Each structure stands twice: as structure tokens, then as C-alpha cells.
Amino acid sequence: MLIHGYYYQEGVASQSVATLCIHADDGANDNTVSIRTDADGAQVYVGQLSQINIGDRLGNTQRKLMLQNGYVFSTHDNDSIDALFKSSNANHFLSSVLHRIESHIGWVITALLVVLLTVFAFFKWGVPWASTQVAHALPEQANHFIADKTLEFLDEYFFEETQLSEEKTQAIKTHFFSQLVPLDDVEHSRKYQLHFRAWNQNGTSIPNAFALPSGDIILTDKFVELAQHQEEIDAVLLHEMGHVVHRHSLQMLIESTFVATVVVLATGDSSGLVDMGLGLGSLLVSSHYVREHELEADDYAFNQMLRAGINPIAFSNIMRRITDYTGNPEPADDEVLADNAEQETNVLIDYLSTHPSTQERIEKANKYIACYEKNLTVCL
């Protein structure tokens, strides 16, 4: 087989018109390749076919063959190159497939759709799955470092010192560490901390609670003021503990800075953790957990409330009271329970105005309330 083209020496810009010749060797597993210049017939290269690297085919553009001695042979005879390397180069098979795809509009459209679906699936399912794996792979030191920077950011730009009495905050802390923390039997080494802060925005006190990946939980003054008894505070604290156990805040942050987090894990460079702490602070005050995170934290809270002998209705009541205070709209018609008296006590709403209030969460609250009334500690 003869293939006409051009021969380039390494480090030389000029080209020589040349012909590549294939010599079939009887009994050999490989073919010999030689190249001669057309001007004087001088043989400038001899080697084995398997030692030649072939460039990918792109339409009918000139193909380049990288020779073992560093020289290059190029040709427009793509069909002959395809036939020559069909059975000798594994990479060429993929190149040929790609060429056939790009040569037919139907295949191009199909390939485009596959790419779009792949990208969609990556962000829809791949990134959340990967963020979960990364969040649980990060060492505790990283969680505390991020949490410290987050709290610094929130204290500087959003929070003020608490106005609650020392007696009040100490009573909540004592109850939290003696009654609720022991319920976390997933990881006994987790170090929980309670922080109390005043949060005022446009002259209004904001009732809220945040969970940082380290186990630090922040309660605002207004939230504590709206709670009418300890069980309502416990209900929200257990919900926040659910976020900590499942590392939801860290997953949320990782999804927004996924590439940067992978770099941190791969290189061990912790300098980027400072920016991650600032990013988590911004997310906590301006965004919300995804629906799956909220439902998972709900499950954790309700199950722990049954174990602790706390009526899940306390969760519903404090949620409703916070929503009444913030002036959020009532649930949509399809979220209203048939019995008004039952609705008054059982409707479950979110403690963050950006969190969705869904029928699914209402039904879950009712389910756990029914289990509590039957003195069950496990609700199936």
C-alpha cells in the first residue's frame, strides 16, 4: 500500500513531498513501514507499523502520523489511513467511530442529546452523591476549621451578642447536653456546642437556628423567646442535630464549591477552607437546605423525639408560631387538613422562610404524633 503525503523532520518547518509504503512481512505479527521522498527517492524512515502514533480524524483535515524518530508524516488520504490502522491501533477504532458520528447529522444530534443528558444527570444525581461522599470523607479538623470561619463571618456581618440572660442560656445548654446529646449514638466523639446570638434585620428580630458541620448549633434570641416550653426548643435542636449527623450543611457547601473541595482533598491544601467557611456563612443566611436534607433531618428529629418521650406536636407548634411571627402565608389549599382543630395542632411548617412547606412533611408529622400517642418508640 502506498500513501502520498508530506514528511517533516523534527525541528524543521519545511516539508518534503513523500510516499509512505507498507511492506507485508510474511509470518510476522507486524508490518514494516518505510518513507521515501518523491524528489530523490531517498529512504528517510524505516520502522514498524505498531510504533507509529496516529492522530484523530477530524472531518477531512490532514492526518498526522507521529513516527518513532520524532518525525511526522501527514496526508489527506484519510481513508487509506483508516484502512491501514483498522486492526493495528486500538485508539484508531475510537477515532473512526467518532468520525462516523460527526459525519452524520443524525448521529451528531444523538451524541448532543447524550452529552446533555449526561451533564444533567451529573448535576442532578452525580454532584449530590459525590458531595455526600466528600462530606463524610473530610476529617473532623476540616469541619471545625470551616465552622470556625463560618461563625466568624456570621458574627461580623449578621449577628450581635445575645441579650438572653445567663441563667436562661445555661439552662438550655445543661438540658441539651444531658438529655439530647446522648441520643446521638451514631458518633459519640462528635463535639456539640450551643451558641446564642441576636439577629436583627431591618429592625426585626429573626427567629432561626443553624447547624454547622462541626456540631456547633446557633440559636437566635427571637427563636428562644417564641418557644413556650423546653420541648419546642428540643424539637428544633434535634432537627439541627439531624443536619449535623448527616453533614447537610457541608454537603450543601460542597455542591456549590465541588471542584475546589476535590482539590483540597487531593492536595491537602487547607488554605481554601477559609473561603469555604465564608461561603457556608453566606449560604446559611441566604439559601436553604434541599428538600431531601430537610426530610432526612425531620426523620432524625421525629425518631429521637419518640426515644426521648417528646411529643412531635411540639415541633409543629413552634414551626407554626415562627411562621405566624414572620408573616409567611398559610399553606396552600391542598396542604390544609380537613379538620380545622386537627390542623391547628398538626400542621408542620418550616422554621426558615425559604424552606418549602409540603404536604409530605405535614403527613409525616401526623404519622409520628400518632405513634407517640400509642406510646411507640419506633414509628414504621
In this structure, what C-alpha cell is assigned to residue 184?
Answer: 446521638
Q: For residue 369, what pLDDT is reported? A: 92
Listed in order, strand segments (DSSP E) in the chain are: 2-8, 15-23, 32-37, 43-48, 53-54, 63-66, 72-75, 159-161, 193-201, 204-205, 209-211, 216-220
Residue 203: predicted pLDDT: 86
- Report the pLDDT value the prediction gives residue 133, as an integer from 0 to 100: 78
What confidence score (pLDDT) does residue 153 get?
Answer: 86
Residue 253: name the closest of 218, 221, 290, 224 by CA.
Answer: 290
Reading the block at residue 378, the C-alpha cell is 419506633
Looking from the CA of 21 toward its CB, the CA atoms found within 13 Å total 15
Contact 318, 301 (CB under 8 A): no
Q: Is 106 helix (H, G, I), strand (E, B) or coil?
A: helix
Cα distance between residue 118 and residue 120, in whole Å? 5
pLDDT score of 50: 79
3-class state of residue 369 by DSSP: helix
Q: How many CB atoms lie within 10 A of CB 264?
A: 20
- Dihedral over Cα of 267, 272, 274, 275: its sign: negative
Q: How far is CA 64 from the centre of its chain?
A: 41
Grid cell digits, residue 332: 396552600
**How do beta strands 209-211 and 216-220 pair?**
antiparallel
Sheet with 53-54, strands from edge to edge, namely 43-48, 32-37, 15-23, 2-8, 72-75, 63-66, 53-54
Cell numbers found for residue 52: 507509529
Each residue's pLDDT tens digit, 15-58: 899 999 988 765 556 688 899 999 888 888 988 887 888 777 77
Determine the angle formed by the axes of helices 90-102 and 105-121, rounding to 10 degrees.
Answer: 110
Which pLDDT does position 78 carry in this prediction? 84
Domains belonging to the chain, first-starting first, are 2-89 (2.30.29.180), 138-373 (no CATH)
The pLDDT assigned to 336 comes to: 37
Low-confidence residues in the chain, pLDDT < 50: 87-90, 278-287, 329-356, 358
> How far is 275 from 146, CA to CA, in rounded Å?
9
pTM tops 0.75, yes or no: no
